[in-house]
């Protein structure tokens, strides 16, 4: 193995897919260089790592010059001389620099960019792709490798589309595909069919933050009807070939056990909200529901999991915020059966990996996920493969910041050749 002593760490101001400044970190070692960019969420859990923004009038207060300077002025001196191949030690050094809740001093955006860049630098020093090396192999690389099943957005709503509908993401899960390439082919046909469905009815508005259609619909159920129709119009069989995944993101419109459905102008309590979602699961080819109730409603999460968890994935995102302790409690309370893994929620790769390991150790499934504010960074594609995640979620089949990651998944699949074992089930 080549020496991977860190010789330089620099921060840079870049741009994300929503036209907002973001942080890029570059880590240079004696035998390789890595770079990574921080993503940002629109709907965020209260317990996740915090982006450091400048405030003031410039770019609505969203500039990141302080976070960028923290990399050069505070983080670099602490990391130079460390071994980039020892990700745990590098991440521990980051944590020791900022013991605040959520990395509020250095900025979670600065920390995650450096943590990811360090992993890329370590991989470069070995002459290996990141998925083979990050925090040790997550899969048996000497044998065959199964790729995660993609969840791909077709319609965007909620905080991603000015709340035209309450559901934040309506996605397809090409669970019957035999290869990742085939999964993307199917999705592209569904995306086009959904566009035609809206055009036929004069309902197309544009695209949401993650590249999915932004439909001019009047009810949440109309969106479910449209997506089911698009699957069938693409010549695919609902459920067996392609299922529907929903990200309700209920924390965005629910609190203290009350849920306000804005488009439908009605308010539900937790029991009624669960009844509504269960009725959708009964009626539509739904195979996954994320954050069905708000993060402050653990009893509601447990009740929904009890009602549907034997049939579908019940995914914790805002509810679990990629935190190992919360994952362990959720497994004990049976308040979810699947965990969304977002590195920037945790702040460091070590913390994100701990949440993933906590899930797998307790029989929960995992989905590695990007965010609504993204860049051309492809780290999550490598993490999803290298960590043995069951699923991967990066947005729609359109827009460069999304297709960069899907294309990287295709490159990984092609590089495996005969060792590719299809998709994880």
Q: What is the pLDDT of residue 139?
A: 46
Residue 368 contacts residue 338 (beta carbons within 8 Å): no
**Nearest to residue 179, comparing CAs of 171, 187, 168, 169?**
187
Active site residue 393: no
The first and second tokens of residue 423, run together, are 């998709």
Residue 389 contacts residue 366 (beta carbons within 8 Å): yes
CA distance 292 to 222: 18
Q: Per-domain residue ranges for the chain?
A: 6-127, 145-423
Q: What is the pLDDT of residue 140?
A: 46
Q: Please identify which of the residues 24, 48, 210, 295 carries the catalytic annotation.
A: 210
CA distance 257 to 274: 11
State which H helix or E strand residue 95 sits in: helix 87-97
CA distance 355 to 351: 6
Q: What is the pTM assigned to this prediction? A: 0.95
* 97-130 exposure pattern, b = at least 16 Cβ within 10 A, e = fewer: bbeeebbebbbbbbbbbbbbbbbbbbbbbbeebb
Residue 147 contacts residue 413 (beta carbons within 8 Å): yes
Residues of the chain with pLDDT under 70: 1, 43, 134-142, 159-163, 425
Give the largest Cα separation in the chain, rounded: 62
Secondary structure of residue 145 in the 3-state scheme: strand
Q: Please identify which of the residues 48, 151, 290, 342 carries the catalytic annotation.
A: 342
Alpha helix (H) residue ranges in 377-424 = 379-386, 400-416
Is-same-fold flag (6-127; 145-423)?
A: no
CA distance 274 to 267: 13
What CATH code is assigned to 6-127? Answer: 3.30.390.10
100 contact partners, CB below 8 Å, separation of at least 6: none
Residue 289 contacts residue 314 (beta carbons within 8 Å): yes
In CATH, the architecture of 145-423 is Alpha-Beta Barrel (3.20)
CA 353 to chain centre: 14
Active site residue 342: yes
Q: What is the pLDDT of residue 82?
A: 98
């Amino acid at each position: 193995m080549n020496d991977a002593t860190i010789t330089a760490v620099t921060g840079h101001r870049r741009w994300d897919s929503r036209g907002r400044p973001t942080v890029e970190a570059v880590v240079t070692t004696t035998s390789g260089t890595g770079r990574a960019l921080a993503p940002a969420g629109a709907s965020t859990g209260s317990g996740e790592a915090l982006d450091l923004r400048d405030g003031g009038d410039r770019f609505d207060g969203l500039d990141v010059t302080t976070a960028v300077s923290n990399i050069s002025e505070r983080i670099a001196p602490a990391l130079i001389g460390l071994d980039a191949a020892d990700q745990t030690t590098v991440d521990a050094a980051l944590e020791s620099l900022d013991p605040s809740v959520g990395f509020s001093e250095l900025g979670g955006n600065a920390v995650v960019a450096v943590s990811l860049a360090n992993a890329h630098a370590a991989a470069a020093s070995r002459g290996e792709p990141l998925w083979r090396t990050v925090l040790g192999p997550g899969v048996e690389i000497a044998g065959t490798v199964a790729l995660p099943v993609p969840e791909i957005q077709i319609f965007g709503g909620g905080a991603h589309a000015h709340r035209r509908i309450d559901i934040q993401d309506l996605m397809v899960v090409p669970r019957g595909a035999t290869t990742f390439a085939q999964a993307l082919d199917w999705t592209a046909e569904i995306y086009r069919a959904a566009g035609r469905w809206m055009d036929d009815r004069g309902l197309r508005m544009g695209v949401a933050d993650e590249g999915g259609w932004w439909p001019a619909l009047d009810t949440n159920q109309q969106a479910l009807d449209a997506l089911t129709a698009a699957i069938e119009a693409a010549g695919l069989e609902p459920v067996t070939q392609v299922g529907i995944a929903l990200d309700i993101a209920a924390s965005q419109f629910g609190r203290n056990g009350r849920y306000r459905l804005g488009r439908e102008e009605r308010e539900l309590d937790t029991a009624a909200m669960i009844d509504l979602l269960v009725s959708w699961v009964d009626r539509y080819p739904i195979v996954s529901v994320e954050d069905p109730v708000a993060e402050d409603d653990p009893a509601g999460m447990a009740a929904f999991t009890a009602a549907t968890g034997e049939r579908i994935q019940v995914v914790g995102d805002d509810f679990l915020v990629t935190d190992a302790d919360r994952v362990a409690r959720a497994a004990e309370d049976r308040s979810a059966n699947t965990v969304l893994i977002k590195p920037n929620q945790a702040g460091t790769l070590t913390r994100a990996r701990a949440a993933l390991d906590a899930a797998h150790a307790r029989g929960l499934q995992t989905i590695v996920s990007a965010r609504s504010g993204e860049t051309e960074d492809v780290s999550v594609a490598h993490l999803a493969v290298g960590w043995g995640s069951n699923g991967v979620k990066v947005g729609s089949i359109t827009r460069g910041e999304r297709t960069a990651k899907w294309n990287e998944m295709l490159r990984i699949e092609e590089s495996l050749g005969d060792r590719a074992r299809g998709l994880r089930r």
